[in-house]
Amino acid sequence: MVNRIGFLGVITRVFLWAFLLCLAVVVVYPLLWMVLNGFKTNGEIFGNPFSLPSHWSFDSYQKAWNRGVSNYLTTSVLVTVTSTIATVFVSAWAAYGLTRVNIPFSKLTTGVILGGLMLAPSVALVPLVKMFQAMGLYNSFWALLILYTAFRVPFTTFLIRAYMLDLPREVDEAAEMDGCGRWTAFWRIILPMCKPIITSTVLLHILFAWNEYLFAMVFTSGAGVQTLPVGLMSLMSKHGTEFPVVFAGMAIAAFPVVLLFFAGQRYIVKGLADGVGK
């Protein structure tokens, strides 16, 4: 009986590893195929798309970089970094007020903030376009910064608030006895204690802002303010017959976020498990 259980355990483990290996191939192979096609010619892509390049050359990557990918990459980095800082700071400060400060109508305020999770971005496109045009912010960096921050604050606040609810109240009492004000307690005590969920929300927002397409397409039209998703579509429309250049541009755009995801996936899981999972 013991041997039978041990045999079933080995078989289960073999099937599990085989499944995970197949899943890894399904995820990694398209990325690898995209990178390799950036080294090929049009003839090689259409003639034998699954073969290795006959000649390894970075010409397509250089062309993609010079044809606008460098500008799109700079804009994406700027928008992503600034919107991440703004979103996480505003959300953490809001979560602190909702969980550690006795304010009137706190439950109603929480419901209003979290109600933003139910607002679909596509529903608000027309009034937002009119509003940003009237404010002179349409087709600008500030439009994307405001939109990315506003539409991600409810979700980020929800995550950080769930984590802060489980922090001991004795910490606030000790900080008050030591003469700390609200801002000092938040910045030097509560925020460092929320490092796991802060790290998770930072990574999640980066993944969102880097790949967001709808707002970037509607609210930007100039090459100087377009992010990578919109810029790559423009690259495809202008140089659609040069598929190696298109694949090279896609590979350049995917590399930073893929690297970040694999480097930070452990922190995403840990932060969410320690927060919402409690």
What does the domain layout of the chain look like in residue ranges?
Answer: 68-275
Distance CA(221)–CA(66), nearest Å, equals: 19
pLDDT at residue 239, rounded to an integer = 59
Whole-angstrom Cα Rg for the chain: 24
CA distance 277 to 170: 22
Our measurement of the distance from residue 173's CA atom to the centroid of its chain's CA atoms, rounded to an integer in Å, reads 36
Distance CA 261, CA 236 (A): 26
Q: Which residue has the tokens 């298109």?
A: 246
User: Considering only CA atoms, which of 32, 36, 39 is closest in space to residue 62?
Assistant: 39
Going by C-alpha positions, the residue among 212, 90, 95 that lies closest to residue 165 is 95
pTM as predicted: 0.84
Q: Which of 42-51, 147-156, 225-234, 235-244 has the highest mean pLDDT?
A: 147-156
pLDDT digits (tens, 9 = 90+) for 231-273: 888 877 765 678 888 889 989 998 888 888 777 777 776 666 6
Q: Would you call 266 exposed, middle or buried from its count of C-beta atoms within 10 A (0-12, 13-18, 19+)?
A: exposed
CATH 2.40.50.140 fits 68-275, yes or no: no
Residue-level pLDDT at 208: 92
Mean pLDDT computed over every residue of the chain: 84
- Whole-number pLDDT of residue 276: 53
- In the predicted structure, residue 91 carries a pLDDT above the cut 50: yes
pLDDT for 7: 64
Mean pLDDT along residues 106-131 = 81
User: 213 Cβ partners below 8 Å, 6+ apart?
Assistant: 229, 230
For 76, how many CA atoms within 13 A lie in the half-sphere containing its CB?
27
Of the CA atoms within 13 Å of residue 250, those in its CB half-sphere come to 20
Residue 148 has pLDDT above 50, yes or no: yes
Asked if residue 145 lies in contact with residue 83, where contact means CB atoms within 8 angstroms, the answer is yes
Residue 145, pLDDT score: 93
Residue 2 has pLDDT above 50, yes or no: no
pLDDT digits (tens, 9 = 90+) for 152-200: 999 999 889 888 888 888 887 787 787 778 888 888 888 888 888 898 8
